[in-house]
Amino acid sequence: MTTALTGELSAQLRGFRQVQRLAYECAEAVAAQLQPGVTEREAARMQRAWLRERGVRDWFHLPFAWFGDRTAFVNFRIPLQFFPTDRRLEPGMPFILDMAPVYDGCTADIGYSGSLGINPVQDKLMADLEAHRELILGEVRERRPLRAIYEDVDRLMVRQGYANRHRAYPFGVIAHKVDRVRQRRWSPHLFGFGTQSLKGLASDALHGHRDGWSPLWSPHRFSDHPPQPGLWAVEPHLGFRGTGAKFEEILVVTDSRDPEESAFWLDDDLPHVRRWAEDK
Amino acid sequence: MTGFSQSVLKGARERRIRTGGVELCVAELGDSGQPTVVLVHGYPDSKEVWSEVAPRLAERFHVVLYDVRGHGRSTAPQPLRGGFTLEKLTDDFLAVIDTVSPDRPVHVVGHDWGSVQSWEFVTVKRTEGRIASFTSMSGPSLDHFGHWISKRVKRPTPRRVGQLLGQGAKSWYVYLLHTPVLPELAWRGPLGKRWPRLLERLEKVPGGDYPTSSLPTDAAHGAWLYRDNVRARLRRPRPDAYAHAPVQLITPLGDAFLSEKLYDELEQWVPQLTRRTLPAKHWIPRTRPDQLASWITEFVTATEGGKNKVQATGRYAERFGGQLVLVTGAGSGIGRATAFAFAEAGARVVAVDRDAEAAARTAELSRLVGAPEAWAETADVSDEHAMEKLAEKVATEYGVVDVLVNNAGIGLSGSFFDTSPEDWKKVLDVNLWGVIHGCRLFGKQMAERGQGGHIVNTASAAAYQPSKALPAYSTSKAAVLMLSECLRAELAGQGIGVSAICPGFVNTNITSTARFAGVDAEEEKRRQKKSARLYGMRNYPPEKVADAILRAVVRNEAVVPVTPEARGAHFMSRFSPRALRAIARMEPPL
């Protein structure tokens, strides 16, 4: 993404937009099939099967599913706890589906929050996430250091009365870079992460380390740099007394001087964005 | 109508109902078109035991009270022996409700023996469909009790034997009542005369027009309640004593006669059970009328509306459901987390903060997580006038506060000589005077109501951990700690507990608003940021402090250090104060 928006760029973005839409379609399809008694493992398997049927062969990471208070990562101590368990879904329970398929070399990484029946707390959390989406975009356009943006998001969460739950992710990241992935016939994965994608992330980390930036957007010193052009999967995650909610989608950052073009969300036609528009 | 009854139960309509050879004296209050609530008294009492609760309920319901046969102005059966069996008491109850509410099922409320009888009413076939709900306090079903005993006798484990012996010791008066003639002589003689004083001294029952002058005969006749039923039922408890209506169980935790363990397995008999607990002694209709009226109202309204269980999900919902809790500094940090924790336990929350928007946010989210009602109030705790106005408004609009959390506080760091008089004034105004105003105004309302309550003051580990970096802050918090201890001593006699919470480093925004004395604005900003980061790395969540606050109220703890470093410092302040003084000399890493 070293040039301004050109025809070639938009063609590339179209691929990413397509796979992101596909992933959100999958989330909506699987969410519609969830019933009381379904386990997290089953929900994860349903996502995987749905996407495999539609041609997904590689993953940035395999699908996750969290139910109940696991949506807020209550008592999470080690990363293994992110993997789906045999927790069963009950009426009124919140859930989050999180998947990162690679299709045609393009990566998506999405998070979909919902609940089985009505869950007013999660509705409120989702409604309040809108402010975060605006805040992040605004500050990226201002080219503020990522670490500072992270802290501003944190402050907004505290003001809203919520806990920062993306803090529980590896390195406490609110976002990470995604990129094109080379298609191989065999695509193994390691601890749920596709090896091709991990390779990309590692090489970014190496280059970034030399040039003073990092593909991980974290609260730590290594994120104390302005936004690096590229695709960032942004995932603010709110938690409130045993209920969590997040969205995850791709933010495009370019080196354009025009603020509008310097950063924008890859797609504005996503379930959570539509919901906010409907509520207005 | 006699003049006597009028003076105790104002505006009651009285009638007499003949049934099974006795004449029952029945009083009614309130609009008879409303749902009927029948109040059944215990032993040794008459219906006047409800004189505080009944008028409060009469605002919303048709309240019916009657003197149990042989008590008050109802006549006694002849002969007495065999005239007080639960079957006959059920006949009386049916006769009363068929007269006062022939078409609609009634809501029963029983205390002590009134509750024992009502358990019979709500578990026998012939009353099915006539009872809409039952609120039980301090009186178990004799059948459940019989099963409880036999289970513990047949399969004794150390715990079960302990429970058995514990309840066995608490039931000493039951054995005495089984001796012939002596109880009657005692009640008609010296015991009857001294009883009101005994109640006042031992049970903290406020004096006045209760107990009534009929006490000696009530107590003498009532001995037959025990003699006619206890042995028979405990030996052969009914196997089918299942409740056919929703039950609300209110357990006073300081009951000298009944162990709370009696109700451990109650769910097996009652499919729809709502539990409540309150820190009080046996005679709660006299000592806690406001709380009872509010719980009964809530329960009756809910069952009328088709709900079978009313309870929030929080861990301490039994204890705090429906109580009024006021938290200062509720716009952020520990205050906000505390408001949420109380809300989750079903309490009604008043969130006070000087930041109106933040307080409103706390109130909004409190409603979302379970508070039946929540309000935001804007006030600066250091402003005496504002606090007085707040106290007045809260008392008139929301009621008397049951739990007060004086939490608002500000941070101030810097050496003693860098701390200006204005800095001192500011930190003492908020941290100490805020607490004083809170205790003075809301504590006074609590004490005047005379129905217990609890005050929580947020002190700090800095209250006993000296530090050269926090002289003013530590001084203010040490004062709060001592104030809490003194107040605890003063209010103990009135059933009001006081707890001081002493958190260590908790991840809240106190660091980013703290004042750093003796440095310029830029350096202050830097230190705020640095300390916020350090506290963030420590990352002790305010939610855990909130949990400690609820626990402190439930257990009535005096001083509660929260976080390991606060507990460590508390321990050292007692056993190795010199080491603590050495720590005080260290420079903070800012």
Q: Would you kindly state where each structural domain of chain B is located, as residue ranges?
A: 3-304, 320-584
B509 interaction partners in chain A (CB closer than 8 Å): 158
B175 is catalytic: no
Question: What count of other Cβ atoms lies within 10 Å of the Cβ of residue A174?
Answer: 26
- Of the candidates B501, B515, B502, the residue with the CA atom closest to the CA atom of residue B471: B515
Q: Report pLDDT for B275.
A: 93
Q: Report pLDDT for A188.
A: 86
Q: What CA–CA distance (Å, rounded) separates A81 from A76?
A: 6
B536 interaction partners in chain A (CB closer than 8 Å): 219
Q: Is the CB of residue B42 less than 8 Å from the CB of residue B49?
A: yes
Question: What tokens appear for A276 in the block?
Answer: 């906010």
Query: Which residue among B368, B509, B541 places its CB closest to the CB of A120?
Result: B368
A160 interaction partners in chain B (CB closer than 8 Å): 361
Q: What CA–CA distance (Å, rounded) separates B520 from B243?
A: 71
Residue in B365, B507, B539 to test binding to A, most A beta-carbons within 10 Å? B365
Q: Is the CB of residue B29 less than 8 Å from the CB of residue B11?
A: yes
Closest alpha carbon within chain B to A160: B361
Chain B: closest CA distance from residue A236 (Å): 18
Q: Do A240 and B365 touch (CB under 8 A)?
A: yes
Q: Report pLDDT for B336.
A: 96
Helices B356-369 & B333-344, crossing angle to 10 degrees?
30
Question: What count of other Cβ atoms lies within 10 Å of the Cβ of residue B11?
Answer: 11
Question: What tokens appear for A162 in the block?
Answer: 């919520």
Q: Do A158 and B541 touch (CB under 8 A)?
A: no
Q: Report pLDDT for B5.
A: 43
Q: Report pLDDT for A150.
A: 95
Q: Do B365 and A159 touch (CB under 8 A)?
A: no
Q: Report pLDDT for A116.
A: 93
What kind of architecture, by CATH, is found in domain B3-304?
3-Layer(aba) Sandwich (3.40)
**Chain A CB within 8 Å of residue B368 CB:** yes
The SS3 of residue B299 is helix
What are the phi and psi torsion angles at B368 (to 5°)? -65, -35
Q: Would you kindly state where each structural domain of chain A is located, as residue ranges?
A: 7-279
Domain A7-279 is classified in which CATH homologous superfamily?
Creatinase/methionine aminopeptidase superfamily (3.90.230.10)
Give the residues across from A216 on adjacent strands. A176
B414: left (phi over 0), alpha (psi -120 to 50) or beta: left
For domain B320-584, the CATH class is: alpha beta
A121 interaction partners in chain B (CB closer than 8 Å): 368-369
B541 interaction partners in chain A (CB closer than 8 Å): 163
Closest alpha carbon within chain A to B542: A163
Q: Do A160 and B361 touch (CB under 8 A)?
A: yes
Q: Do B344 and A241 touch (CB under 8 A)?
A: yes
Closest alpha carbon within chain A to B344: A241
Query: Could you say which of B210, B316, B473, B535 is catalytic?
Result: B473
**Chain A CB within 8 Å of residue B362 CB:** yes
Q: Do A121 and B344 touch (CB under 8 A)?
A: no
Q: Is the CB of residue A234 less than 8 Å from the CB of residue A252?
A: no
Long-range contacts of A187-195 (CB under 8 A, 24+ apart): A187/A57, A187/A58, A187/A59, A187/A102, A189/A59, A189/A61, A189/A62, A191/A79, A192/A61, A192/A62, A192/A64, A192/A82, A192/A83, A193/A59, A193/A60, A193/A61, A193/A62, A194/A58, A194/A59, A194/A60, A194/A61, A194/A102
ipTM given for this complex: 0.89
Across the 590 residues of chain B, what is the mean pLDDT of every consecutive 10-residue run? 52 91 94 95 94 94 96 94 94 95 95 96 95 96 95 94 94 94 94 93 88 93 95 94 96 93 93 92 95 95 81 85 96 96 96 96 95 95 96 96 96 94 96 97 95 96 95 96 97 94 93 90 92 88 96 97 96 94 89
Q: Do A158 and B332 touch (CB under 8 A)?
A: yes
Residue in A75, A90, A150, A158 to test binding to B, most B beta-carbons within 10 Å? A158
Give the model confidence (pLDDT) of A34-72 as tens digits: 999 999 999 999 999 999 999 998 999 999 999 999 999
Query: Which residue among B344, B368, B536 places its CB closest to the CB of A124?
Result: B368
Q: Do B332 and A163 touch (CB under 8 A)?
A: no
B543 interaction partners in chain A (CB closer than 8 Å): 163, 241
Long-range contacts of B330-333 (CB under 8 A, 24+ apart): B330/B358, B330/B359, B330/B362, B330/B407, B331/B355, B331/B357, B331/B358, B331/B359, B331/B361, B331/B362, B332/A158, B332/A159, B332/B358, B332/B508, B332/B509, B333/B506, B333/B508, B333/B509, B333/B510, B333/B542
Q: Do B340 and A158 touch (CB under 8 A)?
A: no
% of chain A with per-residue pLDDT over 70: 97
Over its length of 280 residues, how does chain A's per-residue pLDDT go in tens digits? 444 455 667 888 999 999 999 999 999 999 999 999 999 999 999 999 999 999 998 999 999 999 999 999 998 888 889 999 999 999 999 999 999 999 999 999 999 999 999 999 999 999 999 999 999 999 999 999 999 999 999 999 999 999 999 999 988 999 999 998 888 888 888 888 888 888 888 888 888 888 889 999 999 989 999 999 999 999 999 999 999 999 999 999 999 889 888 999 999 999 999 999 998 7
B330 interaction partners in chain A (CB closer than 8 Å): none
Chain A: closest CA distance from residue B386 (Å): 24
Burial of B385 from C-beta contacts in 10 A (0-12 / 13-18 / 19+)? exposed
Q: What CA–CA distance (Å, rounded) separates B507 from B378?
A: 24
Q: What CA–CA distance (Å, rounded) separates B158 from B135?
A: 32
Question: Among all chains, which residue has been given the structure tokens 């046969």?
Answer: B69
Q: Report pLDDT for A191.
A: 86
